[in-house]
C-alpha cells in the first residue's frame, strides 16, 4: 500500500524544486570579489567588494562600461561611505535570478543599476524592467552613454511633453547629455528644434538635427524666440523662470532642474512639469531609435574605472559635450590596445580562430563620415590591430595598407583643410591615423579622387602617400598576397 504525502507538503516540495531550478543561472567563472568605485567622504575610490547576487526579477551584469552623470557626484556628499555610485551600464548578463523572464546568461544589454547597487563596478544588478538589448550599432562604451540621458529626454518630450510633428521645441543645454538626446528625439518626432549652447557646439548640434542654435553667451534666448509649444530646460532654475514668456498659451514647460513655478505657469496659461525619476522602462523605445539611425551617442571622454574621480572632475566642469564613460575591465584581463581610445580587446584563448602572425590586409575605404566622427574604415583598422594585440602579437606581426578614395578622402585632410571644408576645428581622424602610421600601417589616398574634388596635395596630411589611383594600390598589394577588405 503506497502512502501519498499530504497535498500541502507536495505543493511546498514542488514549489521549492521549481524555485531552485530557476533561481539562478550563473557563470562558473564569476569571482567572489570585484573592483568597484565606492563613495568615500564625498569622493570615489576603487576598492575590492563582494560580487552581488541577483534576487527575484533581477539579472547580474558583467559591466563593460558605465556612464557618468552629474547626479552621481551631486549625491555623493549625502551618501554613506561604501556605496557604489552610478546607474548607466552596458554589459553582458552573467547570472539571472528567479522570475527573470526570457533573459539569459550571455545576453548583451544596456540598463540602469538596481537600487542598492551601482554601475561603477565589474558586476552590477538590474531589474528586468530596467534593461534592454544592446543596440548592435553601438560599442559597449557608446551604449553605456544612453540609459539615463536618453530615457530622461524621452520622458520629458514624449511621455510628459507629448511632442508632435510640426511643433516648435526649445531645448536649453542642447550639447549636454540629456540635451543632445532631446535634440535628436524631438527631431525624430518631426518637431522644429531650437537649442541654446555655446558657439563652439553649434555645428555639432546642427549635425544632430537642430534647426536653430542660440549662443547663450551673446544672446538672450527670450529676445529671439517666441511662441514655442514646448520648452525643455536641462540647465538651471533661473532659465526655467525666464522660459515662461516664450511659450504659447496651452504649451508646456518641462524641467529636469527643479519644478517650474506653478503660479507663474498658470498665469501664463501654460503647464509646468517635471520628468520624474528614470526607471529604465522606456529603454526599448530608445533602442528602437538607435536601430533606426535616429539617435546616436557622442562620447566626450572615455576613462578607465580606476579614474572615476577624474571623470567626476570633468563632469563638474559643466562643459562636456555628450557623455563621459568609464570602461570597466577586470584588472587580471586588461589588455592595453595597440591603438588607444578606439576600444580595447579581450583575449579569448579558447576561441576557434586566432589572429595569425604574418597576415597581410589591404583596406579599400570609400565612404565618408559625419564631420565630428572618425571614419569607420579608420576605426576598423584600429580595432583589427587591437585584436592582434589582445592575442599577444605586435603591430609588426601583421601588414596593413589602406587606400582612401571617394568621400573617404576627407579623413586624410589637414586640420586647416578639414575646417575649411566642414567648419569643424579639428579633423577627428588624424589622432587615430597618426597612431596607425606609427604602428606601421601604410596609408594611401587616390590622386584621381583628389583631382576630381579639386583638393590640392598640400591639403593631405603628412605621412599619407598620394597614389596615382586607389586601384593601383589595391592591385599591387593583392599581387603581394594581401587580403582585400572593402569598407563601403
Per the DSSP assignment, residues forming a β-bridge with 301 are 324
Residues spanned by CATH 3.40.50.720 within the chain? 149-274
Per the DSSP assignment, residues forming a β-bridge with 361 are 400, 483
Residues spanned by CATH 3.90.180.10 within the chain? 24-142+299-334
What CATH architecture does domain 149-274 belong to? 3-Layer(aba) Sandwich (3.40)
**Residue 125 CB neighbours (<10 A):** 24
Q: Residue 325: CB partners within 8 Å, gap ≥ 6?
A: 65, 66, 67, 68, 141, 142, 144, 145, 299, 301, 302, 303
**Residue 198 CB neighbours (<10 A):** 14
User: Running DSSP on this structure, what letter comes out for residue 130?
Assistant: G
C-alpha grid cell, residue 332: 587580471
User: Running DSSP on this structure, what letter comes out for residue 151?
Assistant: H
Q: Over the stretch 253-279, which tens digit does the pLDDT of each residue have?
A: 999 999 999 999 999 999 999 998 889
Q: Round to whole Å and give the CA distance between 82 and 270.
A: 44
Q: Round to whole Å and give the CA distance between 24 and 229.
A: 49
Q: What is the dihedral of CA 289, 295, 297, 298, to 10 degrees?
A: 180
Residues spanned by CATH 3.40.1260.10 within the chain? 336-487
Answer whether 231's CB lies under 8 Å from 214's CB: no
Q: Is 57 exposed, middle or buried (0-12, 13-18, 19+ CB in 10 A)?
A: middle
C-alpha grid cell, residue 157: 518630450
Which pLDDT score is estimated for 345?
Answer: 62
**DSSP run (H or E) holding 75:** none
Answer whether 127's CB lies under 8 Å from 280's CB: yes
Which of 406, 392, 486, 480 is closest to 445 using CA atoms?
406
Answer whether 337's CB lies under 8 Å from 386's CB: yes
Q: 3-class SS at 127?
A: strand
User: Running DSSP on this structure, what letter comes out for residue 165?
Assistant: T
**Cα 247 → chain centroid:** 32
Which pLDDT score is estimated for 265?
Answer: 97
Which pLDDT score is estimated for 14?
Answer: 42
**DSSP run (H or E) holding 388:** helix 376-390
Q: Round to whole Å and give the CA distance between 377 and 383.
A: 10
Answer whether 403's CB lies under 8 Å from 364's CB: yes
**Residue 222 CB neighbours (<10 A):** 13
- Residue 312 to residues 73, 305, 322, Cα–Cα distance (Å): 6, 11, 14
- Please state which of the four CATH numbers 3.40.50.10860, 3.90.180.10, 3.40.50.10490, 3.60.20.10 is assigned to the domain occupying 24-142+299-334: 3.90.180.10
pLDDT along the chain (488 residues), means of 10: 42 43 54 92 92 96 94 86 94 94 93 93 96 91 94 96 97 94 97 96 95 96 97 96 97 96 96 91 95 92 92 85 82 60 61 80 96 93 86 85 97 96 94 93 97 96 96 96 95
Q: 3-class SS at 272?
A: strand
Please say whether the structural domain 336-487 has been given the CATH code 3.40.50.300.
Answer: no
Amino acid at each position: 500500500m503506497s502512502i501519498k504525502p499530504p497535498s500541502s507538503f507536495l505543493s511546498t516540495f514542488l514549489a521549492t524544486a521549481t524555485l531552485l531550478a530557476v533561481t539562478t543561472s550563473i557563470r562558473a567563472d564569476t569571482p567572489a570579489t570585484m573592483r568597484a568605485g565606492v563613495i568615500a567622504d564625498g569622493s570615489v575610490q576603487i576598492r575590492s567588494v563582494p560580487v552581488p547576487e541577483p534576487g527575484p526579477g533581477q539579472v547580474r551584469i558583467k559591466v563593460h562600461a558605465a556612464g557618468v552623470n552629474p547626479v552621481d557626484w551631486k549625491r555623493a556628499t549625502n551618501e554613506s561611505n561604501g556605496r557604489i555610485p552610478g546607474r548607466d551600464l552596458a554589459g553582458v548578463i552573467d547570472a539571472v535570478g528567479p522570475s527573470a523572464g526570457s533573459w539569459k546568461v550571455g545576453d548583451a544589454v544596456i540598463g540602469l543599476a538596481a537600487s542598492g547597487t551601482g554601475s561603477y563596478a565589474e558586476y552590477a544588478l538590474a531589474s528586468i524592467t530596467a534593461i534592454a538589448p544592446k543596440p548592435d550599432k553601438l560599442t559597449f562604451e557608446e551604449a553605456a552613454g544612453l540609459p539615463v540621458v536618453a530615457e530622461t529626454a524621452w520622458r520629458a518630450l514624449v511621455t510628459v511633453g507629448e511632442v508632435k510633428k510640426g511643433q516648435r521645441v526649445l531645448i536649453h543645454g542642447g550639447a549636454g547629455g540629456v540635451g543632445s538626446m532631446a535634440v535628436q528625439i524631438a527631431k525624430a518626432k518631426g518637431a522644429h528644434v531650437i537649442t541654446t549652447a555655446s558657439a563652439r557646439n553649434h555645428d555639432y548640434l546642427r549635425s544632430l538635427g537642430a534647426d536653430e542654435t542660440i549662443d547663450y553667451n551673446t544672446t538672450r534666448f527670450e529676445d529671439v524666440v517666441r511662441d514655442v509649444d514646448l520648452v525643455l530646460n536641462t540647465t538651471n532654475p533661473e532659465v526655467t523662470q525666464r522660459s515662461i514668456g516664450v511659450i504659447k498659451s496651452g504649451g508646456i514647460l518641462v524641467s529636469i532642474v527643479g519644478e517650474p513655478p506653478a503660479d507663474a505657469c498658470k498665469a501664463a496659461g501654460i503647464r509646468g512639469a517635471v520628468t520624474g525619476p528614470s526607471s529604465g522602462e522606456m529603454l526599448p523605445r530608445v533602442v528602437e531609435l538607435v536601430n533606426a539611425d535616429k539617435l546616436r551617442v557622442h562620447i566626450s571622454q572615455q576613462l578607465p574605472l580606476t579614474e572615476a574621480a577624474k571623470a567626476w572632475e570633468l563632469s563638474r566642469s559643466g562643459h562636456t559635450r555628450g557623455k563621459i564613460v568609464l570602461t570597466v575591465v577586470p584588472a587580471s584581463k586588461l589588455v592595453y590596445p595597440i591603438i588607444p581610445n578606439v576600444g580595447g580587446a579581450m583575449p579569448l584563448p579558447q576561441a576557434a580562430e586566432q589572429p595569425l602572425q604574418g597576415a597581410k590586409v589591404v583596406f579599400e575605404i570609400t565612404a565618408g563620415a559625419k564631420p565630428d566622427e572618425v571614419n569607420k574604415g579608420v576605426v576598423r583598422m584600429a580595432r583589427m590591430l587591437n585584436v592582434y594585440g589582445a592575442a599577444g602579437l605586435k603591430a609588426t606581426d601583421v601588414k596593413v595598407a589602406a587606400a582612401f578614395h571617394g568621400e573617404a578622402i576627407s579623413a586624410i585632410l589637414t586640420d586647416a583643410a578639414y575646417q575649411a571644408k566642414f567648419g569643424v576645428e579639428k579633423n577627428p581622424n588624424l589622432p587615430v591615423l597618426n597612431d596607425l602610421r606609427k604602428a606601421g600601417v601604410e596609408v594611401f589616398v587616390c590622386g584621381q579622387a583628389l583631382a576630381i574634388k579639386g583638393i590640392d596635395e598640400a591639403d593631405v596630411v603628412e605621412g599619407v602617400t598620394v597614389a596615382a589611383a586607389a586601384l593601383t594600390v589595391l592591385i599591387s598589394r593583392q599581387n603581394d598576397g594581401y587580403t582585400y577588405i572593402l569598407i563601403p
